[in-house]
Amino acid sequence: MVLPNGIVEKGQDTGGILRDALSEYWSTFKEKCTTGVSVRVPVLRHDMKDVWATIAEVLVVGRRLCAYFPTYLAVPFLLYTLDAEAPLMEEMLLESYCNFVSEEDGVFIRNSLNNFRVPTYPQEEVEFFCEMHNVTRVVHANNWKETLLQVAHKEMIQEAAYIADCWRPVLQQSPLLKEVPSIQELITSLTPTGRKVMKLLKLATETDNASLKEQKDFGFVKQFINQLNPANLKKFLRFCTGADVIIVDEIYLVLHIGVL
């Protein structure tokens, strides 16, 4: 591991330091170089023309060395990056777009697809959405879904196409992503949930059988994890493993019983 000052880290890394470095790298990239809400796509910056391919190399190295992969990247963007000629499924594109825009816009899109033909549907909401997303055509029930697909493609694919073109040669040379049956399956498997994290927990005891006190405290830890929101769950996972995604098989919990 090379430190920010260029000096090689003297400590021995068994995986946690690298995982933490990758988590910090992609967390910073998310905040500074992407746009979107629940899912995101990279956004062009004037000062990053020559570094996009290097970022793709970090993606490949992280996946190769410790199975790390940033789960916030939009699936349609990733699929386009891997193969620009592959068709994108309409439902997948719309679902990703609902998570790309604000929660309010996502709810509006889902409702409008089901209720646009209803005479009482509020057209002012449609007009507001069209204004915010620079829709220039006259929309109606017959072309509304097509319009949404065009807007989703523009904002998630076309506007990031230069970045995808920079990433593509690097990602296509690596067999790691090609071996994954589905990018969506990969992201789902790495995304932490309360139940997934609880299944990773193992109680480490000095004897073969945990005491009643240890079992009770272990239950409290599980309750705590089950109540965490997604952001805090990622923080907990990173504290325990170095990574904010699930790339370990087990997390051993050692309970120290003290006397107050």
How many Å is the Cα radius of gyration of the chain? 22
- Mean pLDDT, contiguous 10-residue spans, the chain (260 residues): 67 74 96 97 91 96 94 96 91 96 95 84 90 94 95 98 96 77 90 95 74 85 94 95 95 70
- Can you tell me the distance from the alpha carbon of 60 to that of 67, in angstroms, rounded to the nearest whole number? 9
Rounded CA separation 53/200 (Å)? 35
* Secondary structure E strands in 92-212: 201-204
Helix axes 230-241, 16-33, angle to 10 degrees: 150
Beta bridge partners of 251: 201
CB 199 within 8 A of CB 210: no
pLDDT at 205: 72
Q: Tell me if residue 43 falls in helix, strand or coil.
A: coil
Q: CA-to-CA distance for 193 and 229, rounded, in angstroms?
A: 9
Q: What is the pLDDT of residue 91?
A: 94
Q: Characterize the bridge pairing of strands 40-42 and 34-36.
A: antiparallel
DSSP letter for 140, please.
-
Query: Which helix (DSSP H) or strand (DSSP E) does residue 104 occupy?
Result: helix 103-115
pLDDT for 121 equals: 81
Cα separation, 72 vs 79, in Å, equals: 14
